[in-house]
Amino acid sequence: MVQVGDVSIGSGKPKICASITETDRKSIIAAADILLQKRVDIIEWRIDYYREAGHWDMVLETLQRLKMSLYGRPLLVTFRTKEEGGSQEIETAAYRELLDHIAQSGLVDMIDVEIFKDFTYEELAGDRTPEVKERFENLKQWIESLRQRVVVVGSYHNFDRTPEDAELKDRLQIIDESGVDIPKMAVMPANRLDVMRLMMFTLQMAEQMDKPLITMSMSRIGSISRISGEAFGSAVTFGSIGQESAPGQLPVNKLEEMLDMIHQNYQ
């Protein structure tokens, strides 16, 4: 279990996280006001949608306004790169500098880090070269520096396919090895079998790991994975209040109803 404010991630019902994807400050604060009226456990600000994301002073000002608007609700900040389904390109140095500034600001509770940014699966899953070992060690050290201030979610997104179980396991082990607090994997199913395969994989891994795990099968056919995490071991589910930040997200009010219904049957 990971404690973030009053929210216990990995205990009880999957926690609902809703994303703010607006492009300007006024709309971002308005979206936060709407979310405060919902039973949302965690609020995610997707900075890659923010048109001023390249200007740290603007990001900081918006973070300050957003934090004041949330009245203690946990805030997760994410810059999703285009390679993993986001809306902006960003160089690695700028990506790390931005997340460093955000962690040091004291205004956020959680930060998402893309573990496979600048690494291929083959580089990390096989026999690592000295150069790859050095780069991965640098990543681990950077993540540890972030963890001194915030909870770190280590993520992997695949919008093309659901890898085979062996690759899923390798990737999850690599995310865990990086030292993050919460591993997260979101993949695209080709069919219902892919959806069930991810859920069974999650169940097996959740029983073996000593930290919460977040997984989801994207698209409409993967919606079942967004509501049944209590049954198979996914600790957080992502919902929307308007624009989806990933395919297959459900409106938070419907998500809440379905999570409650399933939870009642576990009592």
142 annotated to bind ligand: no
**Ramachandran sector of residue 200 (left: φ over 0; alpha: ψ -120 to 50; beta: rest):** alpha
Q: Please enumerate in sequence order all residues whose Cβ is within 8 A of that of 191, keeping only pairs 6 or more positions apart, or say none.
A: 221
Q: Which residues are catalytic?
A: 157, 184
Amino acid in position 129? T
73 annotated to bind ligand: no
Amino acid in position 20? I
Q: Say whether 185 sits in a helix, a strand or coil.
A: strand
The model's pTM is 0.94
| pLDDT the model gives residue 103 | 97
Q: Is the dihedral of CA 83, 89, 91, 96 positive or negative?
A: negative
Q: How far is CA 245 from CA 17, 34, 36, 115, in A?
A: 11, 16, 18, 19
Distance CA 13, CA 227 (A): 10
Please write the tens of the pLDDT for every residue from 148-164. 999 999 999 999 999 99
Q: Is the dihedral of CA 139, 141, 145, 151 positive or negative?
A: positive
pLDDT, tens digit only, all 267 positions of the chain: 999 999 999 998 999 999 999 999 999 999 999 988 888 999 999 999 999 998 999 999 999 999 999 988 999 999 999 989 888 999 999 999 999 999 999 999 999 999 999 999 999 998 999 999 999 999 999 999 999 999 999 999 999 999 999 999 999 999 999 999 999 999 999 999 999 999 999 999 999 999 999 999 998 899 999 999 999 999 999 987 765 555 667 878 888 888 988 888 775
80 annotated to bind ligand: yes
147 annotated to bind ligand: no
The partner residues of 215 in beta bridges, in order of sequence, read 185
| pLDDT the model gives residue 9 | 97
Q: Say whether 70 sits in a helix, a strand or coil.
A: helix
Buried b (16+ CB within 10 A) or exposed e, 9-20: bbeebbbbbbbb
Cβ distance 196 to 179 under 8 Å? Answer: no
Cβ distance 186 to 216 under 8 Å? Answer: yes
- Domain 2-264 fold: TIM Barrel (3.20.20)
25 annotated to bind ligand: no
Please write the tens of the pLDDT for every residue from 45-73. 999 999 999 899 999 999 999 999 998 89
Domain boundaries, the chain: 2-264
196's tokens: 């069930």
Distance CA 86, CA 263 (A): 32
| pLDDT the model gives residue 30 | 94
Exposed, middle or buried: residue 77 (CB in 10 Å: 0-12, 13-18, 19+)?
A: buried
Number of H helices, E strands in the chain: 10, 11
171 annotated to bind ligand: no
